[in-house]
Amino acid sequence: MAQTLVEKIFSRASGKEVQAGEFVMADIDLAMIHDITAPLAIKAFREILGENAKVWDNKKVIMAFDHQVPADSIHAAENHKMLRKFAEEQGIVNYDVKGGIAHQIMVENHVEPGMLIVGADSHTCMYGALGAFATGIGSTDMGFVLAMGKLWFKVPESIKFNIHGKLERHVYGKDIVLKLIGMVGADGANYKACIYAGEVVENLGMADRLTMCNMAIEMGGKAGIVEPDKTTLEYLKAMGRPYDGEPLKSDEDAAFQEVELDVTGMEPQVAAPHRVDNVVGISEVEGTRVDQVFIGSCTNGRYEDLKIAAEILKGETVASNVRLIVIPASVREYKRALKDGLIEIFVDAGALVEAPCCGPCMGGSFGLIASGEVSVSTSNRNFIGRQGSPEGKIYLVNPAVAAATAIYGEITDPRKIK
């Protein structure tokens, strides 16, 4: 029987041929925890196996510190201390306290096509850009994974989003995925794998693919996936991890729900407060005054995103009423930006450039907004209170819109200036 990529991955992980809708106990290839979700996961793990138990495979557990780094409170510092001790006791090999955002660390160093990966963070779905099935789970479920290396799943159905047409200047993967979220709604893809396809996706670089897969969760998706191709293999090779196997792909006659989108003529998209599916073209919100602009996060903190923003900010100055915060997603991306002079452009323009971490994205570390303030952000969520005061507002945009907005102090279409 014909199978989707998702069904093939679960067939391999469960040791039997399966179809969408079946329940399986599947072997996990990699499990990711970070400084916010790890403490509860470890508590659940110890409740299952006892205080002195060992994780199922210390080489398959990846622990990253990214949300509150450096520690911004005594509570965070105590959490970090406990996690460092746990990593040492367990002999966790892949333990990173200063490399950057967990999701970026994962794709740079660990993810391969065809893997089944879980992470105690909803945006784990980003890894599907490399042809893996990756999904976020709760910390208590992660405790079971740490103990057993397995987890129950219902094999998801797949939606194939066929993207056609030609992208306008300063319209990117972020705009495509925002448009799709606006089309299907926040729950339009509940518990389904979102597979991005079509000639537009085939021509996108890995940075845009990662952005699109990252935000599959914002339409209810269990995973976001781009089936592996030449771009996937070239990315892995560039990361120093050439993939020699034959990547799994969907059979030509596999069953999909399909959604079509022609992006020809589409303007930059904006998710207006306070829902990610409250998506409008930039022309509808242009001129909105802003107080803070954030360029970064696991969604848009890669070198390619920083370069887009730097090309607009070069020789310009951030508006006097705006705070611009720029945070590369990882040390690798930071060093690339530093080598090519992007960091100097940001600093000269008046930005605050921070070390790789999540930063303002979840409102738990720094860069918070006050009541009545407006944030324009390249991150993935604009919920009430997400970046600080519940009386603030967040608009989600691509890096070009963010940079143009920082210069003019109001939401600005970058196509009008550069």
Would you state the pLDDT for residue 363? 75
Q: Extract the tokens encoding 264.
A: 């020809």
Who's near 231: CB < 8 A, 6+ residues apart?
A: 202, 204, 205, 206, 209
Q: Is 260 exposed, middle or buried (CB count within 10 Å of its CB: 0-12, 13-18, 19+)?
A: exposed
Same domain, 49 and 77: yes
pTM of the entire predicted model = 0.94
The residue among 315, 320, 217, 201 whose CA lies nearest residue 260 is 201
Same domain, 254 and 275: no
Same domain, 241 and 341: no
Helix axes 206-214 and 303-313, enclosed angle (nearest 10)? 110
CA geometry: angle at 226 spanning 355 and 199, to 5°? 115
Q: Structurally, how many domains does the chain consist of? A: 2
Would you state the pLDDT for residue 339? 97
Would you state the pLDDT for residue 328? 97
Cβ neighbours, 10 Å, residue 347: 12
How far is the C-alpha of 155 from the C-alpha of 149, rounded, in Å? 18
Q: Which of 261, 277, 294 marks a domain boundary?
A: 261
Q: Which of 193, 227, 261 marks a domain boundary?
A: 261
Report the half-sphere exposure of 277 (CA within 13 A, side-chain side): 15
Are 18 and 139 spatial neighbours (Cβ–Cβ below 8 Å)?
no
Same domain, 326 and 275: yes
Would you state the pLDDT for residue 120? 95
Could you give phi then psi for residue 62, rounded to 5 degrees?
-115, 125
Same domain, 70 and 203: yes
Same domain, 256 and 374: no
Q: What is the amino acid identity at position 375?
A: S
Report the half-sphere exposure of 177 (CA within 13 A, side-chain side): 37
Would you state the pLDDT for residue 71? 85
How far is the C-alpha of 159 from the C-alpha of 198, rounded, in Å? 13
Who's near 57: CB < 8 A, 6+ residues apart?
A: 149
The residue among 415, 414, 412, 370 whose CA lies nearest residue 393 is 370
Report the half-sphere exposure of 395 (CA within 13 A, side-chain side): 31
How far is the C-alpha of 242 from the C-alpha of 247, rounded, in Å? 12
Torsion (CA) 88, 89, 93, 97 in degrees, nearest 10: -40
Same domain, 398 and 309: yes
Strands in 35-145 per DSSP E: 61-64, 94-96, 116-119, 133-136
Would you state the pLDDT for residue 364? 74
Same domain, 60 and 180: yes
Same domain, 206 and 288: no
**pLDDT of the chain, 418 residues: tens digit per residue:** 899 999 999 999 999 999 999 999 999 999 999 989 999 999 999 999 998 899 999 999 999 998 888 888 899 899 999 999 999 999 998 987 778 999 999 999 999 999 999 999 999 999 999 999 999 999 999 999 999 999 999 999 999 999 999 999 999 999 999 999 999 999 999 999 999 999 999 999 999 999 999 999 999 999 999 999 999 999 999 999 999 888 999 998 998 999 999 999 999 999 999 999 999 999 999 999 999 999 999 999 999 999 999 999 999 999 999 999 999 999 999 999 999 999 999 999 999 999 998 889 887 778 999 999 999 999 998 988 888 889 999 999 999 999 999 999 999 999 998 7
DSSP-derived letter for residue 155 is P
What CATH number does residue 407 fall under? 3.30.499.10
How far is the C-alpha of 341 from the C-alpha of 353, rounded, in Å? 13
Q: Extract the tokens encoding 121.
A: 């963070």
Same domain, 241 and 305: no
Same domain, 53 and 98: yes
Same domain, 253 and 297: no
Q: Is 317 exposed, middle or buried (CB count within 10 Å of its CB: 0-12, 13-18, 19+)?
A: exposed
Q: Which of 202, 237, 261 marks a domain boundary?
A: 261
Would you state the pLDDT for residue 54? 95
Would you state the pLDDT for residue 72? 86
Q: Does 274 sit behind a cis peptide bond, omega within 30 degrees of 0 on the bond before it?
A: yes
Are 64 and 99 spatial neighbours (Cβ–Cβ below 8 Å)?
yes
The residue among 299, 281, 279, 277 whose CA lies nearest residue 189 is 277
| Containing structural domain, residue 329 | 269-416
